[in-house]
């Protein structure tokens, strides 16, 4: 079955540590996205990529980094510069440009120890 997988489901970060969230899709979609979800705030765009080897900052990119070396994969690194990383992180993909239907993975919940 085609879809988007995210791992791990839960992730714990220690002070000063970088952690990486995985996102893989087998839908053959060109575009991929990372969103952060906090209670009562909806989803906010962190980074997006419309093609391999290219990505753009979203609205809240500070403290995060991404790579897009393969069409199927779009990992997100939460760096130590992100002072408030506790949130639910959602990865999505779409066939065309950003205004098209997006399909979401199951999410990763990041907690700070």
Partner 1 sequence: AQSVTQLGSHVSVSEGALVLLRCNYSSSVPPYLFWYVQYPNQGLQLLLKYTTGATLVKGINGFEAEFKKSETSFHLTKPSAHMSDAAEYFCAVPGAGRRALTFGSGTRLQVQP
Residues within the interface to partner 1 (CB under 8 A)? 4, 6, 33, 35, 40-43, 45, 48, 50, 56, 58, 88, 90, 92, 97-107, 109
Please give the structure tokens belonging to residue 32. 């991929």
| Nearest distance from C-beta of residue 66 to partner 1, angstroms | 13
Please give the structure tokens belonging to residue 51. 């093609």
Q: Which is nearer to partner 1, 57 or 70 (CB)?
A: 57
Q: Which is nearer to partner 1, 55 or 85 (CB)?
A: 55
| Nearest distance from C-beta of residue 4 to partner 1, angstroms | 8
Question: Cis peptide leading into 8, omega within 30 of 0?
Answer: yes
Q: Which is nearer to partner 1, 45 or 112 (CB)?
A: 45
| Nearest distance from C-beta of residue 92 to partner 1, angstroms | 8
Q: Which is nearer to partner 1, 72 or 80 (CB)?
A: 72
Q: How many CB atoms lie within 10 A of CB 82?
A: 22
| Nearest distance from C-beta of residue 47 to partner 1, angstroms | 10
Please give the structure tokens belonging to residue 49. 């990529």
Q: What is the DSSP letter of 70?
A: B
Following DSSP, what letter does each residue of 80-98 receive, concatenated?
TT-S---EEEEEEEESSST
Q: Give residue for tokens 């969230």.
A: 21
């Amino acid at each position: 079955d085609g879809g988007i997988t995210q791992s791990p489901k839960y992730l714990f970060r220690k002070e000063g540590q970088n952690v990486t969230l995985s996102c893989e899709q087998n839908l053959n979609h060109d575009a991929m996205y990372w969103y952060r979800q906090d209670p009562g705030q909806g989803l906010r765009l962190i980074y997006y990529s419309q093609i391999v080897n290219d990505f753009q900052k979203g609205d809240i990119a500070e403290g995060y980094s991404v790579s897009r070396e393969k069409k199927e994969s779009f990992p997100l690194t939460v760096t130590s510069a992100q002072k408030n990383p506790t949130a639910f992180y959602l990865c999505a993909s779409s066939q065309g440009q950003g205004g098209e239907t997006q399909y979401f993975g199951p999410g990763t919940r990041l907690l700070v120890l």
